[in-house]
Chain A
């Protein structure tokens, strides 16, 4: 079975919000739209978004790190939001594992948003139905697009390629390899929701260099300085062959 998902590399994300704006642009004008806004240029702006980038500071100054944290539906393999839906409007696609909402069936009772521990679902205040990230389902399943463009808008927009997209059930896919080899993890694993989306942690690349790697031990210029353990004369090392 296929399970499409995003893998977000927190080591690479610079927090530019390009994924947020491209998501809004694509989805507000497409199948999942409109994603209505209220007072967008006023004092208290609000609106529907499928994707947000948050920023956290980890550690105490001066040993701090800034972590930009993109947050969207994780397309859980055990989605707690789906079974609670009384109408069946909330469902998980059999063929690719994307969790979607049927806007024509949704009654706007908000129960699914209570049932999502991550708070990834939003009620659209204009359409009065529950909305969430669709992984750009209208885009990734569009056979008329070239293969390279059949990706979510956020993935295509990311300037640092912090977002990978693919099938996490295929062990050889780019995303599976990244999760496996770079320590991909899930959010709130304690609830057993098995999120399909994974995050790659912050990682440091360090080279370990020992002292003797900086100083050449057998430097012939230092020959006189080297004290041999005992008077043994020339060793085999000193013989020029």
Chain B
């Protein structure tokens, strides 16, 4: 498939935004359970929510560049019963609204307990909004990934690993960003978020390497023989029906050589999995305020390469009709 940068930015930006929000609410739940010191409403939770929102809005804006008719984008909420894309279009704004509400509640300080469970756990408005938003964040990971995983004849994508990878990549980059954010504003949560970020990064490494292994050995169901229905071991294409390009030759071919793809693969494995783990480790050791930021920058750059590679990995069966493009 041809990698579309609009979609690459959409999936990586909202993934990190969701992850950052999940990091914030994790922090709040931990402090509710007295496992962490409570943080400042405005400086940490409200600003953190704004940061997550910026990422989500940026991702949404990027997605509009993918559309031929962005002014009709509102129509895309119509077919949520059958289309994962439609579901994503519904869940994303809902999630953004709840993140905004969560940030606003903390900013305004409306965090007086509304009621408490058994007199021990105090429930306030921010916790209700936050937990609901967290559920939507996970739903959004599923929706985004299922857009790709539900296309059964794109066999490289049609796997549960796609959903797991999208979720873990989002969590890893989000928690890395949370560590960077904490380090930058001087909150003592770098170790907490950094540890989670490393854990998610390592988990993502396992599942992504598993999908790389799977895709390298994939056996495609369709062949040129089934594509045109000729039972012969030797079938050669002599003409594709046109001499210049067409949508079929632009949309479904990445046009990159094996060497370039190999390089991209090495770069993303290095930048997504190895560099951030080392940087976060060093940052935790020397109490650096900017190294976690560098870790996030490296990981995000790596994720752009990863998503690019994700697209080039998928071989669409329609390509069989354009043999000379290989």
Q: When the two chains form their complex, are residues A84 and B82 in contact, meaning their CB atoms are under 8 A apart?
A: yes
With contact pairs A46-B245, A84-B83, A105-B72 given, residues A55 and B318 touching in the complex (Cβ less than 8 Å): no
With contact pairs A107-B67, A113-B247 given, residues A187 and B228 touching in the complex (Cβ less than 8 Å): yes
Given contacts A47-B246, A89-B75, A109-B85, 15 further A-B contacts (CB under 8 A): A44-B245, A45-B243, A54-B239, A56-B235, A56-B237, A80-B151, A80-B153, A86-B86, A106-B69, A108-B67, A109-B76, A111-B83, A117-B317, A129-B68, A190-B222
- What CA separation (Å) do A121 and B83 show in the bound complex? 18
From 133 to 154 in chain A, residues with beta carbon under 8 angstroms from any chain B beta carbon are: none
How many interface contacts (CB-CB < 8 Å) are there between A and B? 172
Q: When the two chains form their complex, are residues B251 and A201 in contact, meaning their CB atoms are under 8 A apart?
A: no
**Which of B69, B75, B84, B240 is in CB contact (< 8 Å) with A54?**
B240
Q: B207-250 interface mask toward A, CB cutoff 8 Å, 1 = contact, 0 = none?
A: 00000000000000110001111101011111111111111100
Q: A65-96 interface mask toward B, CB cutoff 8 Å, 1 = contact, 0 = none?
A: 01101010000000010011111110000000
Q: Is B287 an interface residue (CB 8 A)?
A: no
**Which of A52, A106, A191 is in CB contact (< 8 Å) with B153?**
A191
- What CA separation (Å) do A80 and B150 show in the bound complex? 10
Q: Is B152 an interface residue (CB 8 A)?
A: yes
Q: Is A116 an interface residue (CB 8 A)?
A: yes
Binding site for A on B (CB under 8 A): 1, 66-70, 72-73, 75-79, 82-86, 89, 147, 150-154, 221-222, 226-230, 232, 234-248, 251-252, 316-319, 321
B182 to chain A, nearest CB (A): 37
Measured between beta carbons, the chain B residues less than 8 angstroms from A48 are 247
Measured between beta carbons, the chain B residues less than 8 angstroms from A71 are 241, 321
Measured between beta carbons, the chain A residues less than 8 angstroms from B72 are 87, 105-107
- What CA separation (Å) do A71 and B320 show in the bound complex? 13
Q: When the two chains form their complex, are residues B245 and A58 in contact, meaning their CB atoms are under 8 A apart?
A: no
B85 to chain A, nearest CB (A): 4
Measured between beta carbons, the chain B residues less than 8 angstroms from A18 are none
Measured between beta carbons, the chain A residues less than 8 angstroms from B235 are 56-58
B280 to chain A, nearest CB (A): 36
Measured between beta carbons, the chain A residues less than 8 angstroms from B66 are 109-110
Binding site for B on A (CB under 8 A): 20, 39, 44-49, 52-60, 66-67, 69, 71, 80, 83-89, 105-111, 113-119, 121-123, 125, 127-129, 185-191, 199, 201-202
Q: When the two chains form their complex, are residues A114 and B76 in contact, meaning their CB atoms are under 8 A apart?
A: no
Q: When the two chains form their complex, are residues A52 and B242 in contact, meaning their CB atoms are under 8 A apart?
A: yes
- What CA separation (Å) do A106 and B67 show in the bound complex? 10
Measured between beta carbons, the chain A residues less than 8 angstroms from B230 are 56, 58, 67, 202
CB closest residue in chain A, given B88: A86
With contact pairs A53-B241, A114-B316 given, residues A119 and B151 touching in the complex (Cβ less than 8 Å): no
With contact pairs A54-B321, A106-B69, A117-B222 given, residues A185 and B229 touching in the complex (Cβ less than 8 Å): yes
With contact pairs A87-B78, A123-B68 given, residues A188 and B241 touching in the complex (Cβ less than 8 Å): no
CB closest residue in chain B, given A200: B229
- What CA separation (Å) do A86 and B90 show in the bound complex? 10
A72 to chain B, nearest CB (A): 11
Measured between beta carbons, the chain A residues less than 8 angstroms from B83 are 83-86, 111
CB closest residue in chain B, given A66: B238
Measured between beta carbons, the chain A residues less than 8 angstroms from B239 are 53-55
A80 to chain B, nearest CB (A): 8
Q: When the two chains form their complex, are residues B152 and A191 in contact, meaning their CB atoms are under 8 A apart?
A: yes
Measured between beta carbons, the chain A residues less than 8 angstroms from B227 are 118, 187-188
CB closest residue in chain A, given B73: A107
Measured between beta carbons, the chain B residues less than 8 angstroms from A80 are 151-153
